[in-house]
Structure 1
Amino acid sequence: MKIFTKTLLFFVALILLESILTLLLITKIVSRNNLSIAKVELSNESSLIYDSHNSWKRKIWKSIIDIKNDEEIKRYLTLQNYFAMNRISYLLESRFIRSGIDYILIKTENLVNLISLTTNTITEDELSNLIIRKPHPYLEIRRLKNYFIMIGSLRVIPPSRLQRESSPANEGYFDIFLIKRMDNLYCKSLTLNRNSNVSFFTNNSLILSHETVNFIKFFSTLSIKEIYEPLYNVEIGKKYYNIAVQRLENIYPENQTLFIATIVSNEPYLERIASIRKITFSVTGSVAFLSIIISLFFSKKITDPIQLLLNAMHKLKIGEYRKSIKINGKNEISELFNGFNEMAEKLMSDRVIMENYIKEIMILNDFNEKVFNSLHAGILILNNNLNVLKANKYFCETFGVDSNKIIDKPLSLLDVEIIDDEVYDHVKKIVESQESGFTIVKRLEYSKVFEIKFYPFTALRSSDIHTSGCIVVVEDISKKVEFEEKILQAEKLSSLSILTAGVAHEINNPLSSIMSNVQNLIEDEKDQDRSVSLKWIEQETRRIANIVHELLAFSSSKTDSLELCDINNVIEQVSSIVKYAVSKDKEIEIGLKLDPNLPKAAINSDEIKQVIVNILNNSIHAISKSGMIQIITRYVVESESIQITIKDNGIGIEDKNIPRIFDPFFTTKKNGIGTGLGLSIVYGIITKHGGKVSIKSKVGKGTTISLEIPAVED
């Protein structure tokens, strides 16, 4: 910090310290004086409000006594009819119309009349529970909704009834209630001071207040033990008040103590103190400003050259190296300026060289980044601690990870399906230089196949080349593997079709002869035992004939005449037939979820029936006792095809058997059940019509077979 600045700040601080001490002293004196004034004001105001409240009580009490002694009212009491009620109501209304009393309630044994003397509304139902509880006039305060009422109660009995000692207690009387609402208007009427408020509250809630919202929290936590208790400088709603609390009578029927609070605002006193502080700060600021102006005037010749040099240094920071500064004279300051100009020129030349280097590095880095992210293979670079250094765009998109979130993350914590113990071990061996490279193939559950290659990541330090990490290259070869499997499957089917066609034709001729002779022998045979053996031969011969028929159907490569087939209709027919074919010892439910807007497919209906039946038979055999088979159809807009999905919750298929599942004569069924041609025929029919077949299965969970058949618009 400059000497001039230090000196200037010292004098400014001294002036401010003097001002603060003066302000504190004046504030303390004024606050003490304000407190004395506030105590007197609070005491006088609370006494005035308390007396005003009691004056209302005295007024109502006096009015009740006057009614009791009114001879004219007593004369009408003897009538006990509507005329008497109306006349008494008129007399009371005339007497109290300008008294400030809000309501007059008159009740007899059979009549009720409510006289409203104010614009405030109240109903007879709200006052229906008012009854005379004492034989003499009395005054009480009751709760009514969110406000209170002050009630003067009187039962007036005709003189004639008083003379009859045997008259019932509830015969021939008039109950008169003078009612005053203790609401916000009542609170306002108790004080003429604009800075004071009045509130009524009980031990646990605020009853009435000018500013109910601000005072509810304060009075709900307030505990009053004295008859009169003053509170000074209380903060409520970011404002300060002086409060005097006085205990009143109990509320009927809750029997809670009612308190009256006189609340006087401290704002005038606080404004006075704020005004004093403002004046003090104004004087302090003026003096400080004057000190600064005088100091600047005397130090200008010294500080201007230094400021000029500082400005040049700031420009040098932001890259303005060509800016040179000049000063007249030959002294230490001029030599400092010349040295600064020479330094700026040297920095300028170094910056040009550095910018050229950085530009070349940025171009090369941008080129490498584009190449890195343009490769159609996932690349993951790991350091020697097996933490992720970088991952390209293809890797992140393929495995659904965020490149920013996986940076510096350990390989073992990476949530990627292909990363398992085998991959982790190979990466570790590469980093430890135990392997120079390795390639593995991973097949995932959802028919994705990845080829994973591991390479050492080398870094050059001085003259040593050593392994500092590992590069993992992941290539999606699913389509390649699928294509190879399809070619292999097609080759198998083509070779087998030629073989099966010849074998089927050669077997069919002698088989027909055997069948004819066996049937003739059965007709001619009289021996029962031999007849049973011949029928068994006939049954097995028919089984051979069925196999030959399936071989001929399998080897047939011709496409029948195409027709527009309603897939949903075929599925409904097949499912209804298959339900009856299910063994009685199995409880299998076949559920359908068919798209009602499904277009038609260009495939023979008999062929699609055979496809559905073959798949359902496999599902039924896969379910031991009870289970669920679900058939779902939907239209795939992207490929313009119909997708048929058949799910079961059977025993499932082992992973090692899935690649062979469409091979002819391959079956997992035991005891000679099935020929192993069912799914091969399904595959042949669907692919013949340009469709696709896919299968997913998990042991113990079930199997899902999906068929896609080209759709035809109507």
Structure 2
Amino acid sequence: MKLPFQIMLYFAGFGLLFGLLSVFGTGRTLETFITDRELKQGSLISQIIVKSISRDTINGDIIPARDTLKSLVDKHDLIHYAFITDFDGRLFAHTFPGQFPAQLAELKDISGGRYLTLAPQGIKILQDSYPLIPGMEARLNVGLNQTGNLSFIKNVKTRIVEISAVVALFGLAIAYVFCRRICRPLEKLTNHIRAYGRGELQEKVTIDKRTLEVSQLANEFNQMIDQRGKAEELSLRLGRIMDQSFNEIFIFDAETYRFIQVNQGALNNLGYSMEEMTHLTAQGIKPKVTPEQFDNMVEPLRTGEKQMIVFETVHKRKDSTMYPVEVRLQLMHDENPPIFVAVIQDITLRKKAEQELENHRNHLEHLVNERTAELKETSEQLLHSEKLAATGKLAASFAHEFNNPLYGVTNVLEEVKDGVTMDTDYQNLVDIGIKESHRMAGLIRNLQDFHRPTSGMLIPFNIHEAIHDMTLLLGKKLSQRNVDLEMNLADDMPKIAAVPDQIKQVVLNILQNAEEATPDRGTITVSTEVRDSTIKLHIRDTGPGISPENIKKVFDPFFTTKSAVKGTGLGLSISYGIIKTHGGNIDIQSAPGEGTTMSITLPIYRNGHEDT
């Protein structure tokens, strides 16, 4: 319905409503006034009655109480009936000529100030009640005849309705004039507002300024258009900034943690729609943070201890994949209700870079440790080579000087043994002297070999030949001690460039050391392998092993843990020199109680080797 018709109806309705309210208000006022007046008059009469019948009621004298009650009621036209209830709330006496009306007996509430129609006469009654004794159940109940009063009130209401009809017609005339002056500008403004609501209006509304209020309303509407346009433009800019941000931006309720707004970057990364996000909470996408932990984290924001907290956690996507994030969280107290604003940065690449950096650092540390170990080993080998060189020079200086005198002593002792008859004791002493002379000569020869470790020509040589020959020499001794000899030799072993006698000497020295270290019923294992451009020989025993402080000295000249009778400490030193001369390496692994493994590495033979 259009506004002019509405206004005319409003005016007409106002007139009618005025009449109805007047009827209702006047009627209620008259009823209240008459009721109060009647109740006051009835109260005065009732007080007289109460004084007259209180004693009879207390004594239980029904007939005197009834007669007194009836005589007093007959004197007053206002009172139509009266009845008394005793201290138990039961009917005691009444003024009705016959039985007590069932209509009154069935009433649950007979308190004062209540209107009712008494059948069958249809008399309008105002019911009132007064206590015989304050605080007791015994009461005097009276019915005040209101038929005349109500008829007067009805006539007054009829007059008011007639006046209201005249007012309504006058209101319609005023409404018509008002609509001509006010409604047309309002209708024009309304049409502009509707068009603006549909997004169709771009221009401002113009209203005749003769109607000041409507003109002001139009101006306010135009200002609203300007402000709303600016707000929409700002909102669009902020929305574009949020959606174009590479970071995830979340806005969620400070109490329920339920998401209110999420930018497009977060939706793309998590894989949810905006509708789905509004059903999730900030805790729901953080599987590694419990609700209690999250409450504890945001507590400094609630108390104002901190303005922002920064922490790292993991977000869970819709497809259950996870990715690391850095969270910057703030609490907006001024919003109603308060909200959290979280700016999230996906730190997958950063974590990957950190992990790669850590791996690179560990790799560099490993390389440094390897290079340090190699440098240490090279330094030790250089030191050992210097020791060997010094020993060789020492051997060269005194081997010749000792050899000739020793040879002469040995010849003299042999001549004495062959040409002189001696007691057995002296004969034994001469034998010991000859034996020790030969041992000393062997020692001098070892020293000379140590000084000149390579005295032959390098030829292609299969190291398995040296292994077979040397194990054959030791076979009987090993079997006597029940020492097992295990052979794990590689197939198709390539040859090496070697001086065979020297390689056999090295193998024999190491096998002898292994045999001497291995207890009875122990095991010696000999194995070979081909690795890259080298061959490797491993000789392992089940002996007591070598302590860490001695393992660095095993290749030093004259170092031995054996007695002087069993060894001179030159065997491994000479072997070391021979292997180095052949371009190889000799290594030892041992620990107390775990046996010892000697490993020899030699280059595979290639054409073009020169004599050494």
After TM superposition, is the score higher than 0.5?
A: no
Higher relative contact order (CA 8 A, sep 6+): 2
Q: TM-score, normalised by structure 1?
A: 0.37
Q: TM-score, normalised by structure 2?
A: 0.43
Bigger proportion of residues as strand: 1
Bigger proportion of residues as helix: 2
